[in-house]
Amino acid sequence: NAGVTQTPKFQVLKTGQSMTLQCAQDMNHEYMSWYRQDPGMGLRLIHYSVGAGITDQGEVPNGYNVSRSTTEDFPLRLLSAAPSQTSVYFCASRSGLQETQYFGPGTRLLVL
């Protein structure tokens, strides 16, 4: 099993550009989430999904969209990048039967 994979690992954007951060898991987990982590801070929940076709907002959803068309994939879209979105983004998944969240390696995003 590859676990949770994320692409790209690094990305530089200009203000106003859009992009999609990819996330996939091969563990057949129902729950998937996107978090952002800023320097010296914990992780803050952006959006989450409890199954294909179902998504909901987390703590900091503004400026981001998500969709969940399959169990495996949960892409995060930045509609119009802003410098405040410079951060490290982590995707995570978990089974509905366990509390363990499995995190991907992260995407480091710099918005100029």
Partner 1 sequence: GQSLEQPSEVTAVEGAIVQINCTYQTSGFYGLSWYQQHDGGAPTFLSYNALDGLEETGRFSSFLSRSDSYGYLLLQELQMKDSASYFCAAPSGANNLFFGTGTRLTVIP
Site residues for partner 1 per CB under 8 A: 31, 33, 35, 40-45, 48, 50, 56, 58-59, 90, 99-106
Cα-Cα end-to-end distance for the chain: 36
Distance between CA atoms of residues 112 and 102, nearest Å: 30
Q: Considering the complex, what minimum distance in angstroms separates the CB of residue 50 from partner 1?
A: 6
For residue 10, give every residue at least 6 positions away whose Cβ sits within 8 Å of its Cβ, in sequence order, or none.
107, 108, 109, 110
Q: Which is closer to partner 1, CB of 14 or CB of 42?
A: 42
- The distance of closest approach from Cβ of residue 5 to partner 1 in the complex, given in angstroms and rounded to an integer, is 11
User: Interior CA angle at 19 toward 85 and 15, to 5°?
Assistant: 50
**CB of 43 within 8 A of CB of 90?**
yes
Comparing CB distances to partner 1, the nearer of 45 and 82 is: 45
Nearer to partner 1, 19 or 88 (CB): 88
CB of 2 to partner 1, least distance (A): 14
* Closest CB to partner 1 among residues 48, 64: 48
